[in-house]
Copies of this chain bind each other. A is one copy, B any other.
Amino acid sequence: MIGMQVDVRAIIHEGAELTDKALESLIPTPAVVPASIHGAMRHSVFAGGKRLRPVLAYQAAVAVAGSIPAGISHLGAALEMLHTYSLIHDDLPALDNDDLRRGKPTCHVAFGEAIAILAGDALQTQAYEVLAGLACPPAATVEIIRLIAQATGTVDGMIGGQVLDIEGEHQKPTPELVQAIHRAKTGALIRVAVVTGGIFAGATADQVARLDTFGRKAGLAFQIVDDILDITQDSAQLGKTAGKDLTADKATWPAVFGLEQSIQDAARLIEEAFAALEPFGDKADGLKAVARFLVERKN
């Protein structure tokens, strides 16, 4: 019914708007004391993110319930707060030492290192306060919180992936290391966005398992595409050949599996991800469309 008529740009745009509205209502303005921390949180949260994790959560809920459930934008906002906290801390001088993100000064450049550290901390804290207020049955809320904490933790979660990345610097990357980093650092939060979107909408155990498979495979595909785009961009910008980039000791998919294989892996993973959604029928068209959009993007 929806079938080929899915307008993926409209889906992403509407999902981003829904998320921004929730974030606007949930994060205090600098009029609330202490001003600096709220200013810093807003600086990074409203720095132009595409809200892809929230959009995936909403479309997973549509796959289960047929429409976007009321109140799910608070789940989306919490996922985005967690994503933003990890970016703020990643950008710090002691970690990646980045001055710019999406063309704007990073949090520590704009507000100083102390406030940036605390703003990251506070976004994590606020994510859990928001999750504890979700409009779904308490047992589902507890499960959502447990899964999100796991996905952002040290064992196969977001922080663990960052640590593996730091520990792996200046070493020749192995296939196992690249897979572990990708699964944990970016994959886990994408996967849990899809799964918790489904749980919020009342998914059965079988539906949760299928969304989990979809999220795991699609999340890895996105990351491989990211790695491929990095190379393409590097080649254009730096005038280096892609082949030369591949020899660098960077823990990327193309660096260990080659560019050709990477392209094939991303395509295969997306097909496997789609196969897991088969029983959802047309209701999963939005989720599929967003996933296809992400792996076919050019930047």
Contacts and interface: CB of A to CB of B under 8 A. Distances in A.
Interface of A: 28, 32-34, 36-38, 41, 85, 89, 92, 94-95, 112-115, 117-118, 120-122, 124-126, 128-129, 131-133, 137-139, 141-143, 145-146, 149-150, 152-155, 157, 159-160, 162-164, 166-167, 180
A36 B167 CA distance: 8
A37 B92 contact: no
A153 B125 contact: yes
Nearest to A27: B154
A118 B137 CA distance: 32
Given A121-B124, A124-B121, A145 B132 contact: yes
A133 B146 contact: yes
Per CB-CB distance, the 3 closest pairs between chain A and chain B, nearest first, are: A129-B149, A132-B146, A138-B138
A232 B172 CA distance: 56
Contact of A125 (B36, B137, B152): B152
Nearest to A150: B129
A132 B154 contact: no
Contacts of A113: 94
Contacts of A128: 128, 145, 149
Nearest to A108: B94
A136 to B, nearest CB: 10
B154 A34 contact: yes
A112 B69 CA distance: 44
B132 A142 contact: yes
Given A120-B121, A125-B149, A153-B129, A163 B36 contact: yes
A125 to B, nearest CB: 5
B115 A163 contact: yes
A129 B158 CA distance: 14
29 contacts: A28-B154, A32-B155, A33-B160, A33-B180, A34-B163, A34-B164, A34-B167, A37-B159, A38-B154, A85-B121, A89-B117, A114-B166, A115-B163, A115-B166, A118-B162, A118-B163, A121-B121, A122-B154, A125-B152, A125-B159, A126-B149, A126-B154, A128-B128, A128-B149, A129-B149, A131-B145, A132-B146, A137-B138, A138-B139
